[in-house]
A and B are shown apart, each in its own frame.
Chain A
Amino acid sequence: MVHGSSGTILRVDLTSGSTSVETFDEPFYRLYPGGKALAAYHLLREFPPGSDPLGPDNVLVLAAGLLTGAPISTATRFNAIARSPLTGGFGESEAGGYWGPELKMAGLEAIVVTGRSPEPVYLWLKDGTAEIRDARHLWGQEPPAVQAAIREELGDRLVRVLQVGRAGENQVRYAMLMNELRHYNGRTGMGAVMGSKNLRAVAVRGSRRYADLAYDPGTLAELGRRLAKRVPEHAQSWDLRRKGTPVLTDALNAGGILPTRNFRQGSFERVDEINMAAYLALRSGTRSCYACAVRCKPEMAFSDRYTVTDTYDGPEYEAVAGFGSDCAIGDLQATARANELCNELGLDVISTAGTIAFAMECFEHGLIGPADTDGIELRFGNARAVLELVERIAHRRGFGELLAQGSRRAAEAIGGDAPLFAMQVKGLELAMHDPRGKVGVGLGYATNEAGADHLVGFHDPIFANADSVAFRAMIDLGISEPSGVLDLGETKVRTWFTSERWNSAEKVLGLCFFGPAPRSMIQVGEVVDAVRAATGWEVTVDELLEVGERAVNMARVFNVREGFGRADDRLPDRLHAPLENGALAGTAIPRDDFEAAITRLYLLKGWDPATGAPTIDRLRALGLEWTAAGSVRRATAVEADLGA
């Protein structure tokens, strides 16, 4: 038995309509213990290089983490991984909620989906059995109706439903997946991939308990009880429960890096209309993910200038800033409605907001006009225009057809200076964090295989004060030397690299970033203890960091194979130009310093500074020599330099 896992993977070929199961052994699982690692392994092995992300050859892997479903707070996440239709590279997105734990309780670690069904279908998984069922009657229906119909058909109201929305059906390149209507694999277009396969939903129900899988369930249960008691006594978790992620709006505005008017500015003159106080006036409650005591998910329902129901997750910070300051809309009700529309239609909030902000800037510069935008006056601050565009994007109607391709493709089509206004890396729109005030986030944006995601490494303020609670929680990761938020020197790069490996390990284990370091409700040693109790392995922090690094390297090899190189690891030019206002007015990321930091990072990673490709020595050290076969380019010319 492989403890902490059922050792079982489901394979689904939608072209032939066949399913099969595979098992793996313990040595394999120790190298690829779930989540990002397990999914990346199958993507690398099975994706035919160069295949169309929206074609039948794309491989969509849904994988639970090693600890997903364990009775400890924040152990809820699963990964969706495939070639991204938005970036053309490694696509990945994680979500919490209940679906990942249920997959694990159904006796599956991952589902590997290939092919394309001739007609819409959904998958029904129950305790190790799989059935492909007709979903023609569900196509085009709204998510709550789909969820209710599936539960009705299966005669079980506790079935957990993962599904795409209309945007996924229509293959909008940044369509997302949702489970239980409230939890989203938002980034890199995994909903478009699932939609392209005519797979409307994956319903799952399991009767196992994590205790049946664990090596030492008693220790895990005790840790779970301890963490549940700790939440109200731990400053950061208490704050997350009380306020949630929108607490960032005031702080980022004060620091001068609240993305405003498509990242031109760092301070929003109407911040008080979208800030925490405004938010709390509208929030109606909070909800939880599976077995998590943090309870940070917001509910919002009101009927006033706009009407919003609590059917979906309320706006997180990314929606508040994305549809608020970044589109210059000082109206939280409008941003909440835009957020709800994205959820209802199955769109990634960040890419939708970023693409609309891009289009607004194009409009204001005269690159596009009302004749292009179906008559919409697409100026910053026009909330009605945003709401109209969200619908047009999801239905790929009119001007929405162009924006449904994402800001990079839209910019290429518009031409002129438009590419300068597309705030994206590798095609993925920037999250609502401006690296001009936290440059390590920029390192993550630039070098992350999936593009400009904000959850790649820790954010720089965590590194700044060695006496802070957050910093002290990192000591067990081997981080001991502070560095400033604008520092791009050796210390910053080294500590950021450690944080990237740790975050990646969390994506493998199925832990939410609101649990372990840097939030630190769960101490680093407690994560190690949890893995030990789950598996019986004598793991160490170093081994977990290596697990994280292995997953990153697989993603990097995938990108190398698809033609990505160092030139793709860059920030939008705007971030190398000064912020226009706010506390950091005039601040830019120095281009030379940033390039030097990337070189330094590559060397730490054992990657070729010229190409950004992993060296064969590094791959071998990580047990990944098998990835260097075939079409993967080897970059061994500078190996002699890497020991320095």
Chain B
Amino acid sequence: MHVHLGGHLAFYDPQRRSRFEVHLDGETALLEVIRRLGVPEAEIALAAVNRQVVALEEARVGDADRLDLYPPMSGGAQPRRARRFSPIGPPGSSRGASASARRSPPGRARR
């Protein structure tokens, strides 16, 4: 199967490839393919099989297919529902420091 990792999704390929071939033994769930590719599911906003937008949770793919995956940068067709918020801080984030930065310093008069 031909795989195209659009945008920054190629960052998650160990060789940082945008376009490459993978071999599938028979029809496989798209989510399973994505797990094997090592691309975080949360970073995939759009999936197209043979240039048709598909739902991640439902699609199945085979060796002769072309798969395009795109991160949340573009917009357009939305095959998946918005997820509920899960409060996980990004790796290396300075959430602690900036959470305090949200508050005005004590005793300081704001305009």
- A540 to B6, Cβ gap below 8 A? no
Q: Which of A252, A524, A546 contacts B76 (CB 8 A)?
A: A252
Report the separation of the CA atoms of residues A480 and B82 in the bound assembly, to the nearest whole angstrom: 12
Report the separation of the CA atoms of residues A465 and B41 in the bound assembly, to the nearest whole angstrom: 10
- A583 to B108, Cβ gap below 8 A? no
A584 touches B (CB below 8 Å): yes
Q: Take A235-B8, A478-B102, A542-B102 as given contacts and tell me if A250 and B88 are in contact as well, using a CB distance cutoff of 8 Å.
A: no
Report the separation of the CA atoms of residues A525 and B92 in the bound assembly, to the nearest whole angstrom: 12
- A541 to B98, Cβ gap below 8 A? yes
- A254 to B48, Cβ gap below 8 A? yes
- B75 to A461, Cβ gap below 8 A? yes
Q: Range of interface residues on chain A?
A: 35 or more
B15 touches A (CB below 8 Å): no
- B88 to A254, Cβ gap below 8 A? no
Min CB distance B57 to A, Å, is 13
Considering only residues 2-33 of chain B, those with a C-beta below 8 Å from chain A are: 4, 6-8, 10-12, 16, 18-19
Q: Take A235-B11, A465-B72 as given contacts and tell me if A256 and B101 are in contact as well, using a CB distance cutoff of 8 Å.
A: no
Report the separation of the CA atoms of residues A583 and B111 in the bound assembly, to the nearest whole angstrom: 48
- A254 to B76, Cβ gap below 8 A? yes
- A466 to B85, Cβ gap below 8 A? yes
A476 touches B (CB below 8 Å): yes
| Count of chain A to chain B residue pairs whose CB atoms are closer than 8 Å in the complex | 194
Min CB distance A599 to B, Å, is 23
- B8 to A236, Cβ gap below 8 A? yes
Q: Take A465-B45, A466-B85 as given contacts and tell me if A541 and B102 are in contact as well, using a CB distance cutoff of 8 Å.
A: yes
Chain B positions 69 through 89: 1 when the CB is less than 8 Å from some CB of chain A, otherwise 0? 011111111101111111111
- B53 to A254, Cβ gap below 8 A? yes
Report the separation of the CA atoms of residues A484 and B18 in the bound assembly, to the nearest whole angstrom: 27
User: Contacts of A539 on B, CB cut-off 8 Å?
Assistant: 101
User: Contacts of B80 on A, CB cut-off 8 Å?
Assistant: 465
Report the separation of the CA atoms of residues A549 and B93 in the bound assembly, to the nearest whole angstrom: 26
Chain B positions 43 through 81: 1 when the CB is less than 8 Å from some CB of chain A, otherwise 0? 101101001110000000000000010111111111011
- A528 to B7, Cβ gap below 8 A? no
Q: Take A482-B82, A540-B102, A540-B105 as given contacts and tell me if A459 and B75 are in contact as well, using a CB distance cutoff of 8 Å.
A: yes
Q: Which of B73, B84, B97, B108 contacts A482 (CB 8 A)?
A: B84
User: Contacts of A543 on B, CB cut-off 8 Å?
Assistant: 104, 110
- B75 to A257, Cβ gap below 8 A? yes
- A250 to B6, Cβ gap below 8 A? yes
Q: Take A254-B53, A255-B53, A485-B76 as given contacts and tell me if A235 and B45 are in contact as well, using a CB distance cutoff of 8 Å.
A: no
Q: Which of A247, A460, A582 contacts B75 (CB 8 A)?
A: A460
Q: Take A472-B89, A472-B90, A525-B98 as given contacts and tell me if A251 and B43 are in contact as well, using a CB distance cutoff of 8 Å.
A: no
Looking at A266, A465, A538, A542, the one whose CB has the most chain B CB atoms below 10 A away is A465
Which of A116-124, A136-144, A422-430, A433-441 has 4 or more CB atoms under 8 Å from chain B? A433-441
Min CB distance B38 to A, Å, is 12
Q: Which of A256, A257, A525 contacts B97 (CB 8 A)?
A: A525
- A482 to B75, Cβ gap below 8 A? no
A238 touches B (CB below 8 Å): yes
User: Contacts of B46 on A, CB cut-off 8 Å?
Assistant: 251, 254-255
Q: Which partner residue on chain B sits nearest A465 by CB separation?
A: B83
- B99 to A476, Cβ gap below 8 A? yes
User: Contacts of B87 on A, CB cut-off 8 Å?
Assistant: 475, 480
Min CB distance A275 to B, Å, is 10
User: Contacts of A466 on B, CB cut-off 8 Å?
Assistant: 82-86
Report the separation of the CA atoms of residues A247 and B43 in the bound assembly, to the nearest whole angstrom: 16
Report the separation of the CA atoms of residues A236 and B7 in the bound assembly, to the nearest whole angstrom: 8
User: Contacts of A437 on B, CB cut-off 8 Å?
Assistant: 75-77
Min CB distance A541 to B, Å, is 5
Q: Take A248-B73, A254-B48, A441-B75 as given contacts and tell me if A541 and B101 are in contact as well, using a CB distance cutoff of 8 Å.
A: yes
B103 touches A (CB below 8 Å): yes
- A255 to B76, Cβ gap below 8 A? yes
Q: Which partner residue on chain A sits nearest B43 by CB separation?
A: A468
Further pairs besides A31-B111, A250-B68, A438-B75: 14, Cβ < 8 Å: A247-B7, A250-B70, A255-B46, A255-B53, A257-B74, A277-B19, A459-B75, A469-B42, A473-B90, A476-B98, A476-B101, A481-B85, A523-B90, A542-B103
Interface pairs A-B: 5 shortest CB-CB: A255-B76, A525-B98, A438-B75, A467-B42, A437-B76
